[in-house]
Chain A
Amino acid sequence: MSELRRDPITERWVIVNVDAPLSPADFHFQQHIWKGEKGCPFCYGNENLTPPEIEAVRPDKSEPNTPGWKVRVVANKYPALKIEGNLEKQGVRLYDMSNGIGAHEVIIDSPEHYKGIPDFDDNQVESIIKIYKSRTLDLTKDKRFKYILIFKNLGKAAGASLEHGHSQLIALPMIPKNVREEIRGAERYMSYHERCIFCDIIRQELGNHKERIIFENDKFITLLPLSSRFPFETWILPKEHKSSFMEIEEEDIPFLAKILKETLGRMREVLFNPPYNYVIHTSPINTEQPLGFHWHIEIMPKLSRTAGFEWGSGFYMVQTPPEIAAKYLRGELK
């Protein structure tokens, strides 16, 4: 018999197939076929094919918009939101709307067309994280913005239109709904227990034979949430309570780089190089700071199709229970 589990943060129920769990080999998705670096705007020498660079890591002090960079940030060529103008909110009879003010940037992870985070040396991954942080700090100065979302789409099925490894940043003038819900859940828990729910989850998972934990170092932990929406969904959390990603200390960045690399590397190996998304969940900016929120990264491999049931209900069916998925990811099951 399968069971229903409730996410303690968002109160979302998921159905977990505990009887006949699917193994990594049971999922079918299209393998990535490389198109090649010809005309790729993210490769060395093609810097003129992107909008001008906003920021870059250039150890050799080379000129902007020329080769020599390690990580490079440019404006999205087809932005979902635009940075120019004042935020104008209005009501149109029944409906509320505003103009689409925001920032939409692309972070090119490296000059290497065919390499992903697991292939980079630690220093390269640290540079990516540092640039995530510096872009966040910079955009936070713009008081129009209330939320900064950093995410990665890898593979076409996960929404990536270009195959050269990159992440994206979107600064929004309002707090998105899922974030509000997560914060509300965390605040509700905090007001009753006077503890952070994410800290409690970490404590409970560490105390529970570590059955859903994959990696752990001094500063970070990788675990599979009990009520994951997707098979093999994985979270990376800082052990120390911090509400916002941009509060990450310089000396903690190498620990995050290491665990991110290990986690994505293990997923690639065990799940046969799946398309995936990861999203940094953090606190809103330029507004009152929520109590009891704890930043983290959610990684969602795209192994199954999301169907009408999930859209209509916010209720998810998970074909591999997270404790079984954790065994595969730790290499205890093959």
Chain B
Amino acid sequence: MPQLRKDPIIGRWVIISTERGKRPHDFGKTYSGPPDKDCPFCEGREQQTPPEIYAVRPDGGSPDSKGWKVRVVPSIAPFLDNQGELWKKGIGLYDFIGAYGSHEVVVEIPNHTANMADLEEGQIKDVLTTYVKRIEALKRDKKIKYVLIFKNYGWQAGGGRVQHSRSQIIATPVNLKRVKEELEGSRKYYSYHERCVYCDIVREELDLKERIVLDVDGILAVVPFASRFPFEVWILPKKHSADFYKIDSEEKNSLAKALKEVLVKIKKLLNDPPYNYVIHTAPFRRAHKGYWTTIDEDYHWHIEVIPRLTQVAGFEWGTGFYICPTPPEEAAKYLREA
């Protein structure tokens, strides 16, 4: 009998097929392609990208030259930039605002490597540091409400033609719907239980163990109870914190280790599939009327990793109801053993 499970945070139901649970090899969608001889993200081709915004350069060196470890450049096709005005207007029923913000690309490694799973742990730590630095810098712009950090790996996951490991940063002047839903769900849970729902999930999963993928000091990776997609993984800090950018150095070490291991497991188990990850963190708390004062207690940052193994069809779009063909407990077992 299939099961229906409810996400305890935003209240989304998913259908879990328990009987004909799909095994990892049922999916098999390898992402491969020829290396790109003209990759603009490789070291030595810094002139081929827009001027760099930020770089990790342990040995110094001037911007847009060799010698970097991680490099941030503006997107060549930005959806948002900070050149225009943040205008707002309404026409009849409809609300419009100017597309103010930022759209940046984080190049994660100087030499041509496609999958972040193949980066050294130390290199991943530098990427995480870069994320933190960029969020801190973007926070200074009072017009920015949210910074979204995500990765599209592989064509089906929305990745570009050039296969050089990178992630994206989008800073927006509005709060995002999905984030708002999580904030509202966590607030509702907190106001009833006086506990953070994510802290409760961490405790629950540590207790049950069946959905844990890995447990590194301070960081837990689990397949969520009501996962939307087969082999979806959430990576959460055990210590309560609403903001990713406030991560301390030790936590960052553990996160780099956990992220690397999760990505390696996914690569190995599922035959190098396309995937996305998204950092879910709290919006900036800009004071205005009705200013949300309880976010620090309610919310808990985390990373969602989604291998792209199935097609999202009419049913999912129409309902926000997902059919997950692999039960989370089984997926977690496979991932633990990978």
Chain A interface (Cβ < 8 Å from any Cβ of B): 1-6, 8, 10-13, 15, 17, 78, 80-82, 85, 93-100, 147, 149, 151-153, 156-160, 168, 170, 172-174, 176-179, 181, 197, 200-201, 204, 208, 226-227, 277-281, 298, 300, 305-309, 311-315, 317
Contacts and interface: CB of A to CB of B under 8 A. Distances in A.
A80 B92 contact: no
A197 to B, nearest CB: 7
Contacts of A279: 314-315, 317-319
Q: Which of B4, B148, B155 has the most CB of A within 10 A?
A: B4
Contact of A311 (B155, B159, B276, B323): B276
A315 B177 contact: yes
Contacts of A281: 318
A66 B280 CA distance: 54
B177 A11 contact: yes
Q: Please give me the 3 A-B residue pairs with the lowest Cβ-Cβ distance, nearest first.
A: A307-B158, A159-B313, A312-B278
Contacts of B15: 80-81, 100
A314 B314 contact: no
Contact of A99 (B1, B92, B204): B1
B51 interface: no
B4 A100 contact: yes
Contact of B204 (A93, A197, A309): A93
Contacts of A168: 314-315
10 contacts: A94-B200, A98-B4, A152-B314, A159-B312, A279-B315, A298-B317, A307-B158, A308-B277, A309-B158, A315-B178
Contacts of A15: 79-80, 99
A190 B12 CA distance: 25
Given A300-B317, A314-B181, A8 B93 contact: yes
Contacts of B313: 151, 153, 158-160, 277
Interface string B295-338: 00000000010100001111101111101000000000000000
A298 B318 CA distance: 8
Contacts of A100: 1-4, 15-16
Contacts of B314: 151-153, 158-159, 168, 277-279, 300
A15 to B, nearest CB: 5
B312 A97 contact: no
A80 B5 contact: no
Interface stretch (B168-176, B238-246, B260-268): B168-176
Given A13-B176, A159-B313, A277-B314, A308 B158 contact: yes
Contacts of A1: 83-84, 98-99
Among B2, B79, B99, B318, which residue has the most Cβ atoms of chain A within 10 A?
A: B318
Nearest to A281: B318
Interface of B: 1-6, 8, 10-13, 15-17, 20, 79-80, 83-84, 92-99, 148, 150-152, 155-159, 168, 170, 172-174, 176-179, 181, 200-201, 204, 225-226, 276-280, 304, 306, 311-315, 317-321, 323
Nearest to B89: A3
Contacts of B277: 308
A12 B20 contact: no
Contacts of A6: 94-96, 174
B320 A177 contact: yes
B214 to A, nearest CB: 21
A240 B306 CA distance: 42
Contacts of A308: 150-152, 157-158, 168, 276-278, 306
Contacts of B96: 3-6
B4 A306 contact: no
A115 B98 CA distance: 44
B98 A4 contact: yes
A197 B158 CA distance: 34
Contact of B148 (A82, A149, A309): A309
A38 B6 CA distance: 41
A12 B278 CA distance: 18
B233 to A, nearest CB: 14
Nearest to B193: A94
Q: Which of B84, B151, B168, B320: most chain A Cβ within 10 A?
A: B320
A96 B5 contact: yes
A176 B321 contact: yes
Nearest to A308: B276
B127 to A, nearest CB: 15
Contacts of A13: 172, 174, 176-177
Given A94-B200, A312-B280, A314-B181, A172 B321 contact: yes
B173 to A, nearest CB: 7
Given A81-B15, A177-B321, A308-B157, A170 B315 contact: yes
A317 B84 CA distance: 18
B319 A4 contact: no
Contacts of A226: 94
B79 A2 contact: yes
Given A80-B323, A177-B320, A309 B150 contact: yes
A95 B8 contact: yes
A173 B320 CA distance: 14
Given A177-B10, A178-B320, A311-B276, A4 B150 contact: no
B174 A307 contact: no
Given A4-B97, A158-B311, A204-B92, A176 B276 contact: no
B295 to A, nearest CB: 17
B306 A85 contact: no
B321 A309 contact: no
Given A153-B314, A308-B150, A308-B306, 9 more contacts: A15-B79, A98-B4, A153-B313, A178-B319, A179-B320, A281-B318, A306-B158, A311-B304, A314-B181
A219 B306 CA distance: 43
Contacts of A147: 319
Nearest to A5: B96
A149 B278 contact: no
Contact of A174 (B4, B83, B181): B4
A255 B2 CA distance: 39
